[in-house]
């Protein structure tokens, strides 16, 4: 490039094929973390958007794609995840609030998965807020979008199996507040393939039937989502994240009896889900109080210990908390106006739009 004689200077087209850019010299390297990092950076350059406004995610073309390389796991597991993504391609990722999957390929012993670039996770979002809880009006659009996602997954017979704040990402925190998508299908499974020996879900978000060794189904995702919504409501994990199964089940059976985990976090603040109202005692607006009660009612239907009685995603979408039917059109309160504005990020699509691509 810096040859003094301009006739000897490399042409752009030839420079593009240089080993430094093609990275062919890295093929024999065993430094997998470095190679993954290099591929990720060059991929962002190669697939970068010509629109630098930061708002290009709104267009049909994705601004950037990121290369996600999961932790080392078996080739069989990687191939299973690839099969799940092929099935997910039946769904419209934007209508159904699921991360857009582009491709996967194998590099030596690693499987690489290529997705659209999204913003931070709900967990990171709460951390940046210094764990300040969200209002039920702010939680609603997140709940609605995830219920749409679960409805779509159920329609193709897939269970996510790891619903938690870290696996729900904001699309664009600045231009689309509370617009989210579901990610990380590494633990996902065809619902019909579940066995009673499947150990799924993260501690603190794991449904009781999994601990009891019962055969799980897609209702475990509803439990995980209910726990996630309560995480947003409290600004901390609702159920103990201890790996002690006895304490976890004792906590559930006693409906949140006294328990302190290894980090010193106490979980004796409630005796039943009805006591959630005590967490926001300063609410005076009857409209806001009615909205809180609607939220609590949905949570109670999501966190039913018996999976057969747990609310289905499609039914939850019609719950008054999501539909806001309890917020009377005649009511001109500032709270109702604010709640309606926050929900504008959601496309309250027809049911047929929700489950088809």
Q: What pLDDT does 345 receive? A: 82
Listed in sequence order, the residues at least 6 apart from 143 whose beta carbon sits closer than 8 Å to its beta carbon are 225, 229, 298, 321, 322
User: Are β-strands 176-182 and 168-172 bridged in parallel, bridged antiparallel, or unpaired?
Assistant: antiparallel
pLDDT digits (tens, 9 = 90+) for 128-156: 999 999 999 999 999 999 999 999 999 99
Instruction: State the Cα–Cα distance between residues 238 and 230, nearest whole angstrom.
Output: 6
DSSP 20: H
Threshold 0.85, pTM exceeds? no
pLDDT digits (tens, 9 = 90+) for 43-81: 444 433 333 333 433 434 333 333 444 455 556 677 777
How do the domains of the chain map onto residue ranges? 10-46+62-116, 122-354
Q: By C-alpha distance, which of 282, 299, 157, 286 is closest to 229?
A: 299
Instruction: List residues with catalytic annotation.
Output: 162
Q: What pLDDT does 239 receive? A: 77
The list of the chain residues with pLDDT below 50 reads 41-70, 256-264, 266-268, 349-352, 355, 357
3.40.50.1100, 3.90.70.10, 1.10.510.10, 1.10.10.10: which CATH number matches 122-354? 1.10.510.10
What average pLDDT does the chain have?
A: 78
Q: What pLDDT does 79 receive? A: 74
Q: By C-alpha distance, which of 242, 195, 229 is closest to 303?
A: 229
Please state the length of the chain. 357
Q: What pLDDT does 68 receive? A: 44
Same fold, 10-46+62-116 and 122-354: no
Beta bridge partners of 116: 65
Contact present, 310 and 112 (Cβ < 8 Å): no
Q: What pLDDT does 248 receive? A: 64
**Architecture of 10-46+62-116 per CATH?**
2-Layer Sandwich (3.30)
């Amino acid at each position: 490039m810096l040859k003094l004689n301009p006739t000897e200077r490399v042409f752009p087209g030839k420079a593009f094929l240089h080993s430094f850019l093609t990275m062919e010299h890295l093929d024999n390297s065993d430094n997998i973390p470095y190679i993954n990092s290099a591929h990720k950076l060059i991929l962002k350059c190669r697939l970068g958007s010509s629109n630098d406004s930061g708002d290009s995610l709104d267009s049909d073309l994705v601004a950037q794609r990121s290369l996600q390389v999961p932790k080392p796991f078996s080739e069989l597991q990687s191939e299973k995840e690839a099969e799940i993504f092929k099935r997910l391609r039946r769904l419209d990722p934007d209508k159904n609030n699921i991360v857009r999957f582009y491709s996967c390929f194998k590099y030596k012993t690693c499987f690489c998965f290529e997705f659209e670039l999204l913003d931070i996770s709900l967990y990171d979002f709460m951390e940046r807020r210094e764990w300040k809880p969200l209002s039920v009006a702010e939680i609603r659009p997140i709940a609605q979008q995830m219920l749409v996602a679960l409805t779509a997954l159920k329609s193709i017979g897939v269970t996510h199996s790891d619903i938690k704040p870290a696996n729900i990402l904001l699309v664009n925190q600045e231009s689309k507040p509370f617009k989210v998508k579901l990610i990380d299908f590494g633990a996902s499974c065809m619902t019909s393939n579940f066995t009673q020996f499947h150990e799924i879900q993260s501690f603190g978000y794991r449904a009781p039937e999994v601990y009891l060794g019962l055969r799980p189904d897609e209702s475990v995702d509803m439990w995980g989502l209910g726990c996630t919504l309560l995480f947003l409501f409290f600004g901390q994990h609702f159920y103990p994240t201890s790996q002690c199964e006895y304490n976890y089940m004792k906590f559930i059976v006693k409906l949140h009896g006294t328990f302190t985990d290894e980090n010193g976090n106490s979980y004796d603040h409630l005796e039943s889900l009805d006591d959630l109202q005590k967490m926001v005692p300063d609410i005076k607006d009857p409209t806001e109080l009615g909205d809180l009660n609607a939220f609590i009612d949905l949570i109670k239907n999501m966190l039913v210990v018996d999976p057969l009685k747990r609310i289905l995603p499609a039914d939850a979408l019609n719950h008054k908390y999501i539909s806001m039917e309890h917020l009377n059109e005649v009511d001109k309160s500032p709270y109702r106006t604010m709640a309606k504005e926050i929900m504008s990020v959601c496309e309250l699509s027809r049911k047929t739009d929700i489950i088809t691509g």
